[in-house]
Structure 1
Amino acid sequence: MGDLANEIAGLRAEVHRLNEHRFVRIHAKPVRMIAFQFFRGLAFGLGTVIGASILVSVLGYVLSSVNWIPLLGEWAAEIADQIESAR
């Protein structure tokens, strides 16, 4: 019977420790959870836009310098011209 009481006491201590964890405290209140998820979404969106911009810029630069492949070179030059005219 003593082992069971020790196990229950250990479980209670562990549950108490988990309930005090930052993640649980943030998600325990709906307003905090909404704010946390909102800022998380903003960071994700900003990172996606910056990453896509860098990737498209690098890809456009690489494709604009590929003139030795006839079809690909013409297509890349046309994209580069459209980008330049948009500026």
Structure 2
Amino acid sequence: MKIDGRRNRIFIVKWFLIVFAFSYVIISLPNLFGIGEVIDWVPEASLFQKVRVCVIEGLQNGWIFKSIISSMIGIAGVVVLILRLRD
């Protein structure tokens, strides 16, 4: 399979975005489960409110670091894909 043309470039961009998103979520898992931080909940907080806050905080904490690492993993994934498609 050749690595040229608009269709293949779109495929590579999709691959990068999928790898980026997957690695970002994997890196965020400790924060999503609340490891390393304590949130004091009011007694009236519902389960939905607790889950929403944990997810938002987990994805936002350290987003610059996670974005840089996920970008490097995404680029590595694209390089591996290109090398595989070349053969």
TM-score bin (small chain)? 0.3 to 0.5
Please report the TM-score for the alignment, with normalisation by the length of structure 2: 0.38
Larger Rg: 1
TM-score by length of 1: 0.38
Higher RCO, 1 or 2 (CA under 8 Å, sep at least 6)?
2
